[in-house]
Amino acid sequence: MNITLNNNSETIDREKLTVADLLQVKKFTFKMLIVKINGNIVKQQEYATAEIKEGDNVIVLHLISGG
Amino acid sequence: MINKINFYIFLHFYFLMNFEQIKSVLQNKSVGIAGCGGLGSNCAVALARVGVGKLIICDFDVIIESNLNRQYFFYDQIGIKKSHALKQNINRINPAVLVEAHDIILNEDNIPGIFSGCDVIVEAFDRADMKKMIIETVLGNMPGIPLVTGIGLSGWGNSNTIRMINTGNLYICGDGVTEATDENPPLAPRVGITANMEANTVLEILLDKH
């Protein structure tokens, strides 16, 4: 399926895709991430069930310590 | 012919206000600040100086000597709760600001209640897991309230890598990459740039939408 990931076009070789799948396929190994699908936040506990669909706009941000 | 640059110059002058007009808008605004460390103390002071009417500041911690390399506290305040000391300092700068100080550990259950009346919320935590918690809580459970965060501010130099990016109601200030470690500690100048960029982003939201 074709999606937009962090403003880049990506083709993911899957028919069905959850957030957890995407993070695995695209090798996001960093623990502290923020995920948004079409502008809506996806919470950590929803990663395994939240589905990404054809044409979705997905943003994955890294969070780091310091303040 | 109106090109893009002329358009922005027009917008700038169209919305130009003198300080009395700016204050009259800001005095009716309320900003929540989650954390009173390097980001929170400096951001709160900047917002107090320009006259934001109400600041809701939250922290559970006590000031220690090592905080003074970046946080807006004084040597004689070591040992005092950060939320209480910051309220004192804001009151000394601008007594017109109403400061609601909470000595509390923020979590996903108490954030919606404490910050429910805020026009904007500022994330000013040090730990990444706390940043994640408040972003998911505010964006997920408090629709319509903008959240300004600070991510990537350690070390020194590289001033120009600190920037603000915006996605929906989430505004991210910082360089996005430099993590705080013992070898690359957060220090007053870059923390101050980021904290003041957070405050500047709050003004952009409050004044452009008024």
Per-residue pLDDT of chain A (67 residues; tens, 9 = 90+): 999 999 999 999 999 999 999 999 999 998 899 999 999 999 999 999 999 999 999 999 999 999 9
Quote the pLDDT of residue B16.
Answer: 85
Q: How confident is the model at residue B181 (pLDDT cuts 50, 70, 90)?
A: very high
Average pLDDT over residues B202-208: 96
- Residues 6 or more apart whose CB falls under 8 angstroms from that of B132 comprise A32, A33, A34, A44, A63
Burial of B121 (0-12, 13-18, 19+ CB in 10 A): buried
What pairs with residue B163 in β-bridges? B174
Quote the pLDDT of residue B109.
Answer: 98
The DSSP call for residue B68 is G
Average pLDDT over chain B, rounded to whole?
95
Encode pLDDT of B20-74 as tens digits: 999 999 999 999 999 999 999 999 999 999 999 999 999 999 999 999 999 999 9
Q: Which residues of B touch A33 (CB under 8 A)?
A: 132
Quote the pLDDT of residue B168.
Answer: 95
CB of B164 within 8 Å of a chain A CB? The answer is no
Q: Residue B147: is its pLDDT beyond 80?
A: yes
Closest-CA residue of B relative to A35 is B136
Quote the pLDDT of residue B11.
Answer: 66
Q: Residue B1: is its pLDDT beyond 60?
A: no
Quote the pLDDT of residue B144.
Answer: 95
Q: Residue B209: is its pLDDT beyond 70?
A: no
Q: Which residues of A touch B135 (CB under 8 A)?
A: 34, 41, 63
- Residues 6 or more apart whose CB falls under 8 angstroms from that of B191 comprise A66, A67, B38, B39, B42, B70, B153
Q: Which residues of A touch B128 (CB under 8 A)?
A: 32, 63-65
CB of B132 within 8 Å of a chain A CB? The answer is yes
Average pLDDT over residues B149-158: 97
Does the structure's ipTM exceed the value 0.85?
A: yes
Q: Which residues of B touch A66 (CB under 8 A)?
A: 126, 150-154, 178-180, 186, 191
Closest-CA residue of A relative to B138 is A41
Quote the pLDDT of residue B26.
Answer: 98
| 8 A C-beta contact, residue B174 and residue B151 | yes
Q: Residue B12: is its pLDDT beyond 70?
A: no
- H or E element in which residue B160 lies: none
Average pLDDT over residues B81-107: 98
CB proximity under 8 Å: B 66-95 to A: none
Quote the pLDDT of residue B193.
Answer: 98
| Residue B80 Cα distances to A20, B20, B102, B128, angstroms | 43, 35, 13, 25
Q: Residue B9: is its pLDDT beyond 80?
A: no
| 8 A C-beta contact, residue B47 and residue B36 | no
| Global pTM value | 0.93
Give the sign of the dihedral formed by CA B129, CA B131, CA B137, CA B139: negative
CB contact under 8 A, A66 and B167: no
CB contact under 8 A, B172 and A61: yes
**Alpha carbons B102 and B80: distance in angstroms, whole number:** 13
Average pLDDT over residues B150-159: 97
- Is beta strand B54-59 parallel, antiparallel or unpaired with respect to B30-34? parallel
User: Of the ranges B9-23, B35-49, B188-202, which one carries the lowest mean pLDDT score?
Assistant: B9-23
User: Of the ranges A61-65, B2-6, B111-115, B131-135, which one carries the lowest mean pLDDT score?
Assistant: B2-6
Radius of gyration of chain B (CA): 17
Count of other CB atoms within 10 angstroms of residue B162: 18
**Alpha carbons B125 and B148: distance in angstroms, whole number:** 12
CB pairs < 8 Å spanning A and B? 70
Q: Residue B120: is its pLDDT beyond 70?
A: yes
For chain B, the residue count is 210
For chain A, the residue count is 67
**Alpha carbons A44 and A50: distance in angstroms, whole number:** 10
**Alpha carbons B97 and B3: distance in angstroms, whole number:** 41
